[in-house]
Each structure stands twice: as structure tokens, then as C-alpha cells.
């Protein structure tokens, strides 16, 4: 099954892979957007059945060995891949797999007067609490990216929830249905030089299957892959970071019955003579995008 099949490029790859492996396959191509609908039904013949619906609510006629999807955003989970695949994993046979099998979000501290000026020029809170997909040029990364969280598919926790689906549990619209996809993390960076922090970069690494990866993390970037640019999470007020300080970036992925959003804040710390680490007084940013007031993704 290819879920979120769009115009069908992954269906093509699935058919090619099956040919290369000498296997007969039956493929279901599931797509909810009528404007992105798969167009090659005639060419594929009866090997592919195109299904026009939301994968979370589809009643599949049979189970699949391999669930293939491409629902990733620049931060991995920021286009609701976890929530969509939670809904689709009930189609996977025992012992079946999801491609991708996992993805990890990464963050790093950024100095970029240009990006900060462009976002703050809007003059409102909403723009300063919204992540942007940006092809980085005029930026300086103050430290290498660190992981914040990971999602695995299929997720055994979801099977337990799905048993209660008849009661509405596990479905959008019910408070608490998505708590297993809430995340929080603190990534601590050593800042080697005096610098001004303007925002945070967001990247992802994904494992498709076993050791086959795709990545937009600068250190592990898949060669020649231009499908994703990084995210830029702005800060409302730039923060001065002294040489040899520590910067804690706090990140949350939160949800309610209808939406998913990120909150973030930056806390600089100084290392004292005795090696003790204390927050820089007055240095911390506020928590951005509280309650998803400025940016969110609708379920």
C-alpha cells in the first residue's frame, strides 16, 4: 500500500522494485487530495487500485506486507506523518513493515541577521512564532545539530489505543487521542565564540528500511536530494551568547483534539569558575507559540 500517493511516483517505484525482485504485487494507492490524484491508472492496469480517501478512515479490504509513505516535512513529523501513519498501521500484517520505519528531528542554534530582519519586518507576534522552510544562505550555525525526538512505525502503543477506537479513542476530535505523539526535549549546545542567536534550525533524518536512510541533516545530507529545505524557528528577541557558554534549546511537540503545534525557547547558561553552570540572568527567551496561538497544523 502506498498511502498519500499524490501523483504516483512512489507507486511507480514500488512496481519497479517488485519487478526487480521478481515478485507479483497488488498495490493500493491511497490519496485524499482530489487535486493531487494519481493519474496513471490506465498504464498500471489491475496491478494498482487507486483509493480516493483519507488513510485514517479507510476500511482496507485486506492487510498489507509493506506500507509505503512520503508524509515527511523538514522536521520529519511536522506534516502529520505520525498521526496519518497511526491511522494507517492497522492495515499492516503481523510482521509487516512501514517505509519509512522511523524519523528523528534535529535542532541547532543559528545566527542570521538576514532571516531575523525578514521575519521581524512583519511587525507582529504571529510571524515571529511560525517556523519557515528556508534554503539557508546567510546563516551561521553556532553548533552542530542535536536530536530532539524520534517516531517509529508501526508503533505498538497505537495498537493498544486502536482497540478502543469503537469508543472514539484513537480518533481526532477526542481530547487525549494523540497523547502518544506528544514530545518534549532539551538540547544543550556548547557555544565556542561570542555570538548572537536569532533562531533555531530544524532538520530530519529518516530510516526508510534497515540501514537505508534519507537525511537533510547537514552532516549526513543525502547527496543530490533537493526535496526538503530546513526549517527556521525564529526568536522574538535575539540573544547574546558569550564565548564558552551553554545554550539549552527547549522544544515541545504538543496537540489537542484538532491540531498539532510546536513551542520553543532558548536558555543561555554560563559556566562559573568552579565549573558550576547557571542560567544567564535575564538571558532566556520567552516560550514561543504557547498553545499554538500563532502556528499549528490542523488534524
Ligand X SMILES: C[S@@+](CC[C@H](N)C(=O)[O-])C[C@H]1O[C@@H](n2cnc3c(N)ncnc32)[C@H](O)[C@@H]1O
79 catalytic per annotation = yes
Distance (Å, whole) CA 32 – CA 5? 9
Could you confirm whether 70 is annotated as catalytic?
yes
Q: CA–CA separation, 83 vs 255, rounded Å?
A: 11
Q: Is the peptide bond before 100 cis (omega within 30 degrees of 0)?
A: yes
Give the angle subtended at the CA of 104 by the CAs of 99 and 110, to the nearest 5°. 140
Site for ligand X contains 153 (CB under 6 A): no
With the C-alpha atoms ordered 128, 133, 134, 140, is the resulting torsion angle positive or negative?
positive
Residue 39 as a binder of ligand X (CB under 6 A): the answer is no
Return the number of the residue (111 or 215) whose C-beta is nearest ligand X. 215
Residues 1-30 interacting with ligand X (rule: CB under 6 A): 3-4, 6-7, 9-10, 30
Which residues from 66-125 bind ligand X, rule CB under 6 A? 70-71, 84
Size of the site for ligand X (CB under 6 A): 17
**Region binding ligand X by CB under 6 A among candidate stretches 18-26, 51-59, 92-100, 178-186:** 51-59
Binding ligand X (rule: CB under 6 A), the pick from 13, 19, 33, 175 is 33
Is there a contact between 209 and 99 (Cβ–Cβ < 8 Å)? yes
Identity of the residue, 189 or 204, whose beta carbon is nearer to ligand X in the bound complex? 204
| Cβ(52)–Cβ(64) below 8 Å | no
Provide, rounded to whole angstroms, the least separation between the CB of residue 7 and ligand X. Answer: 4
Q: Which of 286, 227, 237, 297 is nearest to 262 (CA)?
A: 297
33 neighbors 55 (Cβ within 8 angstroms): no
Q: Which of 12, 49, 79, 141 is catalytic?
A: 79
Catalytic residues: 70, 79
List interacting residues with ligand X (CB under 6 A).
Answer: 3-4, 6-7, 9-10, 30-33, 36, 54-56, 70-71, 84
Amino acid at each position: 500500500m502506498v498511502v498519500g500517493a499524490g501523483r504516483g511516483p512512489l507507486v511507480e517505484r514500488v512496481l519497479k522494485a517488485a519487478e526487480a525482485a521478481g515478485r507479483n504485487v497488488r498495490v493500493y494507492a491511497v490519496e485524499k487530495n482530489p487535486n493531487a490524484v494519481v493519474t496513471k491508472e490506465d498504464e498500471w492496469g489491475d496491478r494498482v487500485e487507486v483509493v480516493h480517501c483519507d488513510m485514517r478512515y479507510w476500511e482496507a479490504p485486506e492487510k498489507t506486507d509493506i506500507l509505503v509513505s512520503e508524509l515527511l516535512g523538514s522536521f520529519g513529523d511536522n506534516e502529520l506523518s505520525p498521526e496519518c501513519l497511526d491511522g494507517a498501521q492497522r492495515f499492516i500484517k503481523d510482521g509487516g513493515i512501514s517505509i519509512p520505519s522511523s524519523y528523528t528531528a534535529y535542532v541547532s542554534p543559528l545566527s542570521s541577521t538576514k532571516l531575523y530582519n525578514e521575519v521581524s519586518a512583519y511587525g507582529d507576534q504571529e510571524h515571529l512564532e511560525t517556523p519557515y522552510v528556508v534554503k539557508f544562505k546567510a546563516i551561521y550555525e553556532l553548533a552542530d545539530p542535536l536530536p530532539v525526538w524520534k517516531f517509529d512505525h508501526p508503533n505498538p502503543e497505537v495498537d493498544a489505543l486502536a482497540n478502543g477506537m469503537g469508543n472514539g479513542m484513537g480518533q481526532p476530535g477526542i481530547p487525549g487521542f494523540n497523547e502518544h505523539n506528544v514530545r518534549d526535549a532539551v538540547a544543550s549546545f556548547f557555544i565556542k565564540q561570542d555570538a548572537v542567536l536569532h533562531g533555531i534550525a530544524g532538520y530530519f533524518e529518516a530510516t526508510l528500511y534497515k540501514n537505508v536512510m534519507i537525511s537533510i541533516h547537514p552532516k549526513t545530507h543525502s547527496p543530490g536530494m533537493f526535496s526538503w529545505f530546513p526549517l527556521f524557528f525564529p526568536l522574538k528577541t535575539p540573544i547574546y551568547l558569550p564565548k564558552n557558554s551553554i545554550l539549552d534549546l527547549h522544544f515541545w511537540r504538543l496537540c489537542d483534539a484538532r491540531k498539532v503545534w510546536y513551542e520553543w525557547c532558548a536558555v543561555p547558561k554560563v559556566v562559573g569558575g568552579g565549573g558550576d553552570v547557571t542560567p544567564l540572568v535575564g538571558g532566556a527567551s520567552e516560550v514561543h507559540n504557547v498553545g499554538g496561538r500563532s502556528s499549528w497544523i490542523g488534524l
